[in-house]
Amino acid sequence: MTPRILLVNPPVHDFAAYDFWLKPYGLLSVAGHLRGKADFKLFDYLDRLHPFMARQKALASDRWGRGRFYEQRIDNPPCLEQIPRYFRRFGLPRNLFQDFIAREKRFDFALVQTTMTYWYPGVEEVIQDIRKISPPTKIVLGGNYVTLCSGHAKNFRADLLVRGTNLEPLWKYLGIESDLNQPALWEAYEKLRVGALKLSDGCPFECTYCSVPQVYGRFKARPLERSLAELVLLAKCGAKNIAFYDDALLFKPEEVLVPFLNELMRRGIKVNLHSPNALNARFVTKDLARLMVQAGFKTFYLGFESCSVEWQQRTGSKVFSDELERAVKHLVSAGAQASNITAYQMLGHPYGDAAELEASMRFVHSLGIRGMLADFSPIPGTPDGEYCRKWVDMDEPLLHNKTAFPIILLGFDESNRLKDLQRRLNRSLTGNSSIDCGQSS
């Protein structure tokens, strides 16, 4: 008999969350490898096109498909009680999921996406409901939280934890043969306007605050044909906006991004492309900027972090100020709107200081583009995350929270002062589209 598999993207318990092109891409990729060999049902708590959301007019999408989630106030967890911000539960109401699994009857397996390490309470909620309503269903967890905090994830007694990118134990457990050439299971959504895509894995840099080098290793391009097939599928399913989830989208462009974009244009595929997961400004050449704009890139997020040469050198030398300046020049000359170019700068990193951050914000502002503070989330197993044991218990993933850590390190007032400054600088830009995604607020 064909196995019945439930796919779940859990709700988010956090101080802030925004649909910044968030999709459970790992989960959908895994399911895609099993296409045609199982009967799948998807419940995505963060699906803003779910019929329940149609009744929430205030939560409509912006022009690039982003928007606010449905939210409910909940108590701060005890270890975050000292943070003077409201904790919330983002995503569809819990009873919709409970009714859904009760109605759908028996599932053989449930594959549950885990994302940020500090989002595990949403995963716990999903496990509780499946165990209660459908006890025979075998629960499988995979994704970032399980990979980075596997010891902690064992507490939930799932039937299988899939750590990292080796999926062999999963295929064995499910007893199904996989086809790795298949794209992600985007057709699992009844209605789709936003998709995600990854043309490569890994990154050539080794930033001391990032887990990618240890989890993904060396940079590796994904097969171009598979990526193109996925793009075609996304467009067929209705996706108008596509966010790249690559860690180093612009690395080795002649092998990866350039042939992909040329083929996209040759086939006449019209979609808006976005890069929320920071592009490296060093690789933005005049020709590449022109091609990106021509092919449909609409928003550009550049990872800058700090204008301090010392900070950059100490954390991996991924980009310097002159490289950001050059990238902005190329993008604007290619036709990108300055108001759609944003540079991330890190707030609350243990080696940073307020004066340096202010200088970085002013430097970004002087280029005529928007700045966005990326609140630092310490990640266990990375050099900088391990250093943060000085301030927080890194074995409690809730304390990796990006809103909480800068407040713990800098204090509430200082943290707010810097965020206010960023807002004021952005507001004073001429032609500012004033899209403030709140992703890192």
**Which stretches of the chain bind ligand B12, using CB under 6 A?**
17, 20, 22-23, 25-27, 29-30, 111-113, 115-118, 140, 142-144, 162, 165, 167, 170, 198, 201, 210-212, 216, 245, 247, 276-277, 374-375, 377, 379, 400, 402, 439-440
Is residue 371 a contact residue for ligand SF4 (CB under 6 A)?
no
Choose among ligand B12, ligand SF4, none what residue 318 binds, the Cβ cut-off being 5 to 8 Å by kind: ligand SF4
Phi-psi region of 252 (alpha: psi -120 to 50; beta: other; left: phi over 0): left
Give residues 225-254 in contact with ligand SF4 (rule: CB under 6 A). 247-248
- When the beta carbons of 415 and 440 are compared against ligand B12, the nearer one is 440
Per the CB < 8 A criterion, the answer to whether 279 and 300 are in contact is yes
The residue within the footprint of ligand SF4, chosen from 111, 196, 207, 357 (CB under 6 A), is: 207
**Of 314, 320, 302, nearest in space to 250 by CA:** 302
Compute the distance between CA of residue 112 and CA of residue 27 in angstroms, rounded to an integer. Answer: 7
Per the CB < 8 A criterion, the answer to whether 400 and 382 are in contact is no
**Of 142, 241, 260, nearest in space to 200 by CA:** 260
Is residue 92 a contact residue for ligand SF4 (CB under 6 A)?
no
The residue within the footprint of ligand SF4, chosen from 69, 107, 109, 205 (CB under 6 A), is: 205
- When the beta carbons of 25 and 304 are compared against ligand B12, the nearer one is 25
Per the CB < 8 A criterion, the answer to whether 301 and 279 are in contact is yes
Provide the minimum distance between the beta carbon of 429 and ligand SF4 in the complex, in angstroms, as a whole number: 26
Phi-psi region of 261 (alpha: psi -120 to 50; beta: other; left: phi over 0): alpha
Site string for ligand SF4, 270-309 (x = CB under 6 A): ---------------------------------x------
**Beta strands at 341-347 and 297-305: parallel, antiparallel or unpaired:** parallel
The residue within the footprint of ligand SF4, chosen from 238, 296, 316, 350 (CB under 6 A), is: 316
- When the beta carbons of 164 and 316 are compared against ligand SF4, the nearer one is 316
What are the φ and ψ backbone dihedral angles of 114, each rounded to 5 degrees?
-120, 140
Choose among ligand SF4, ligand B12, none what residue 143 binds, the Cβ cut-off being 5 to 8 Å by kind: ligand B12
Token pair in block for residue 193:
């306007």
Provide the minimum distance between the beta carbon of 372 and ligand SF4 in the complex, in angstroms, as a whole number: 15
Token pair in block for residue 76:
């701060």
Per-residue exposure over 117-128, b if at least 16 CB sit within 10 Å of its own CB, e if not: bbbbbbbebbbe
Total residues at interface with ligand SF4 (CB under 6 A): 12
- When the beta carbons of 62 and 322 are compared against ligand SF4, the nearer one is 322
- When the beta carbons of 45 and 205 are compared against ligand SF4, the nearer one is 205
DSSP codes of every residue in 95-147: HHHHHHHHHH---SEEEEEE-SGGGHHHHHHHHHHHHHH-TTPEEEEEEHHHH
Choose among ligand B12, ligand SF4, none what residue 213 binds, the Cβ cut-off being 5 to 8 Å by kind: ligand SF4
**Of 141, 264, 165, nearest in space to 215 by CA:** 165
Select the span of 73-81, 180-188, 208-216, 380-388 touching ligand SF4 (CB under 6 A).
208-216
**Residues binding ligand SF4 (CB under 6 A):** 203, 205-207, 210, 212-213, 247-248, 303, 316, 318
